[in-house]
Structure 1
């Protein structure tokens, strides 16, 4: 996988994390706010309840208390015995008793608690009625409100249930002195407080219900967000992959063009990629690593775009200078790939695929574990392909022999672990036997002639004759006879007429040989002699007159010899030279 795809995945994970965090915080805040609002509502109810109690008490106080019939529920208040006319009889003989503000409020609070669960209590530090004794919290708050003269509140647990407790200071007024003057209170004194305890359960139930709806909505929004992120990632990945695919198609097309410069390298990168993949799978590498290796193999020779044709296509041995120039292709490959974002992660693999395990490779002479492991795999695959394909001066090896050679070079050129894996992975590989560096088509032969064409006559030279004879009876060559044509007195002609005219005559003579020959295997040797090779036996007896016509009035005459390649056991130019000297 390319670095851009990995970066996209990384960004996606970050976005998902941030989105999850945002939704979690949003859900938490909403739930928190719902429960906080429950406290606000409870406080609001408490304030309203206390204000209602104080308003009721104020009304009773403004009337100096109220008389009510004496009943079991409203007996005479013993704590008002100091007040004259606490109990009175009506004209119809009905007994009434005085209920001061505290007495009426206390009974009203009791009834309200039974009906709605709200606990009300009138209390004081200086008691007239023991029933108004403050509890622990009320006692603590009374000390505070006597100083602050402001309400106080807190959530607390009463009998195992949570309540919102609120207490408001009870300020002494003129109307209060009727009952409380004997306690020493003066107008304006804080003589106690009115407290209320609101049960939180109903508010918590509402908060829970609302929070459940909020969480469900948040969760649905979260899922929608994940879907949109996933969809966006998918579309971005498709766009990125299509962009990378298009880019790679252009790059691979460039590689294909480079390969077409040389008949041998055509298909070489694909074969190396296939061999490398097989080895990597045998070694247990993950799919994304194998994918990087495959792409590196497909581009490992892209640097050859800078290698001159005269070196890249040279079929023979390279000079030391030419070898140094061709070695530069790995550095060029690295420089090209490292500048392209999608290939940065494979540039190093390509750079070191010609390093040797013993440090004798190039470009940096790395050895052992210093060489990237994927580069080492490519090195083995590259060598295996070279061993199993035909070269100009070296025939291909069988798969079995190639694996033997890989093992012979283990610990030297190759990593022994990779050789072991390659021996298993490549043992059943089917290698195309037609892969060769030797020319087959007319175009390939013409390109080949750059190195083997005689510059004067346009026919082949002695080097190519050596090649044909050496590799006769192969897929590329299968010739049976040789005709050697000697031109006598040619030096005299050159001396008399100039070398330029001599070259023109040689070219004209060579062209006539091409016309009378049934194959295109015509070679110039020894300066002024020619060789014709044919796949069928062919003599010049009936062709001499046509050739001699070219040499008329030149003083040059022709002799020729015919040889059967198989009978005369001709395997190279040395064998031919020996026969010519007989």
Structure 2
């Protein structure tokens, strides 16, 4: 994967994770504050309840207590027996005094039954043992004695959670009527009003609010993810378009290189396919295989800078020319290095001519100093070179090429890769077209420096030497030699001799179709490969009609033997000796 794609991959994950964590954090804060607010509501309810109780108690105390009819629920308070006028009878009914604590106790009991809010008057010095503090209330009484302020906290009653609050009861003058006997003075803390607000209903409301908020946040999260996905997709599309544009540009350059000669055409594609096949058998990842395939397609891009006089040369290169060819890997690297898209393949391309024993170029790397993908590409490149016809060397069969690769194991190639390649490439089918012969008019003209006779435009002896193996594809071979041409040059001049050769060549070109092959050799000799007997007859007639008065004799010979493989024709001399 390209560097930008990797960056975008991690950026995408980062955005997804960041967006998710951001919303989760905000949601957690909101939920935490929702539950905190539930506690705040509980505290406020507790304070309101206490204030209500105190207001009621103050009112009762301000009237010195209240008298109510005695009934089953409200009996005379035994703890107020010391008050002389605690009870009286009027209109046939018995009445008893209810002090603030007594009235508040009954009201708290009713309030608890109605609303579930537990309220309780308690003290460390009790008039009524029923008002005995529980464990939490004892702790709270100790705290309010010191602070003289309300104390509250979450606490459990049984297995349920409550917000519990203790409000101090401060002794006032009106309180001494009932509590002077306990030793209290005005201003003393003589107990407290305890309130317990059940948290379950408040937590239930908080949960509902939290679920609604969570649902809203989930929608916001989905919207955010969709927006991120949209822009990331657009960015990927942009990168894909950029990559496609760059790769089309580079592959266009590769196409230019491959159109320079028939051998190079398809070479990059074959090398990429061979390398990919080896990498798959070595169980490389899909990403690595894709990188290797791209490297194979572009490994010879630097050859675009090699002059035709070297690049298209059909014979063996000189030492200087070979050094120039070697420069193509550096040129390839420099071309790819200018485009960040190819950062993942540029070193593979640069090092694909390194050898395992350090004898390669351009850096003389040894063993695993060469990237493993470049080592695979080295073998694939060599395999294709071995199985492709060259002018100066015929191609090997697949098995011969693999045998050669095995012999070079540990020298030119990594032994581990060799073993895999032998199995991966053994069933490869090589097409017959892999040779360096020009296939069209454009190629013929570009190869004219090497193959064309500069005077007549026919193919020269160099071309004939490389095409000699194609003679078996033709039924007829015509050998034309000009007798007396040397004397013609002496008497008529060299220019006249050149014009005569050009005229004969033009006659040959006008007579034979493109399927026939026309050559000039030894200066005044011509050779024609053809399958058309009518064209041969036409040529005879034209030569007789056009060149009888040229003071030369045209020696016209046609092969007397059928062209078969057992003739072992491998050179021009073989053609002349074995067919005529």
Tell me the CA shift for residue 59 of structure 1: 0.3
Distance 2:542 2:61 in 1: 155
Does structure 2 retain, via aligned residues, the 8 Å contact 1:38–1:204?
A: yes
The 1:541–1:40 alpha-carbon spacing in structure 2 relative to 1, beyond 3 Å, is closer
Match of 1:11 in 2: 11
Match of 2:78 in 1: 78
Does structure 2 retain, via aligned residues, the 8 Å contact 1:177–1:185?
A: yes
1:351-390 to 2 correspondence within 5 Å?
Answer: 351-390=350-389
Distance 1:569 1:394 in 2: 17
1:3-42 to 2 correspondence within 5 Å?
Answer: 3-42=3-42
Q: In terms of mean alpha carbon deviation, does 376-385 or 218-227 score higher?
A: 218-227
Tell me the CA shift for residue 133 of structure 1: 2.9
The 1:375–1:455 alpha-carbon spacing in structure 2 relative to 1, beyond 3 Å, is same
Does structure 1 retain, via aligned residues, the 8 Å contact 2:455–2:502?
A: no
Match of 2:182 in 1: 183
Distance 1:403 1:569 in 2: 27
Match of 2:301 in 1: 302
Distance 2:542 2:53 in 1: 144
Give yes or no for the alignment of 1:429 onto 2:422: no
Give yes or no for the alignment of 1:533 onto 2:527: yes
Deviations 1:373-423 (A, max 9, x none): 221222222222222222112222232332332223222222233233223
Does structure 2 retain, via aligned residues, the 8 Å contact 1:124–1:133?
A: yes
1:145-294 to 2 correspondence within 5 Å?
Answer: 145-294=144-293
Distance 2:335 2:402 in 1: 33
Match of 1:450 in 2: 449
Give yes or no for the alignment of 1:483 onto 2:477: no
Distance 1:565 1:383 in 2: 42
The 1:570–1:169 alpha-carbon spacing in structure 2 relative to 1, beyond 3 Å, is closer
Q: In terms of mean alpha carbon deviation, does 354-363 or 121-130 score higher?
A: 121-130
Could you say what secondary structure the match of 1:88 adopts?
strand
Does structure 2 retain, via aligned residues, the 8 Å contact 1:472–1:478?
A: no
Does structure 1 retain, via aligned residues, the 8 Å contact 2:301–2:332?
A: yes
Could you say what secondary structure the match of 2:289 adopts?
helix
Does structure 1 retain, via aligned residues, the 8 Å contact 2:121–2:192?
A: yes
Match of 2:61 in 1: 61
Tell me the CA shift for residue 154 of structure 1: 0.7
The 1:474–1:406 alpha-carbon spacing in structure 2 relative to 1, beyond 3 Å, is farther
Paired positions, count: 561
Tell me the CA shift for residue 199 of structure 1: 1.4
Could you say what secondary structure the match of 1:125 adopts?
coil
Distance 1:44 1:458 in 2: 110
Of 478, 501, 504 in structure 2, the residue corresponding to residue 510 of structure 1 is 501
The 1:367–1:484 alpha-carbon spacing in structure 2 relative to 1, beyond 3 Å, is farther
Tell me the CA shift for residue 506 of structure 1: 4.6
Tell me the CA shift for residue 93 of structure 1: 3.6
Distance 1:210 1:468 in 2: 90
Q: TM-score, normalised by structure 2?
A: 0.87
Stretches of structure 2 lacking an aligned partner (at least 5 in a row) = none
Match of 1:143 in 2: 142
Match of 2:416 in 1: 417
Could you say what secondary structure the match of 1:196 adopts?
strand
Does structure 2 retain, via aligned residues, the 8 Å contact 1:472–1:479?
A: no
RMSD: 3.1
Distance 2:466 2:121 in 1: 123
Deviations 1:273-292 (A, max 9, x none): 22222222222222222111
Q: In terms of mean alpha carbon deviation, does 272-281 or 305-314 score higher?
A: 272-281
Tell me the CA shift for residue 222 of structure 1: 3.0
Does structure 2 retain, via aligned residues, the 8 Å contact 1:482–1:565?
A: no
Distance 2:39 2:570 in 1: 108
Distance 1:313 1:374 in 2: 29
Could you say what secondary structure the match of 2:447 adopts?
helix
Distance 1:208 1:422 in 2: 66
Could you say what secondary structure the match of 1:521 adopts?
strand
Distance 1:191 1:490 in 2: 151
Deviations 1:305-336 (A, max 9, x none): 21111111111111111111111111111122
Give yes or no for the alignment of 1:97 onto 2:99: no
Stretches of structure 1 lacking an aligned partner (at least 5 in a row) = none
The 1:565–1:165 alpha-carbon spacing in structure 2 relative to 1, beyond 3 Å, is farther
Match of 2:45 in 1: 45
Deviations 1:78-116 (A, max 9, x none): 2222222112222x2422211111111112112222222
Does structure 2 retain, via aligned residues, the 8 Å contact 1:457–1:506?
A: no
Distance 2:187 2:528 in 1: 138
Deviations 1:163-216 (A, max 9, x none): 110011212222122222333333333222111111112112222233233333
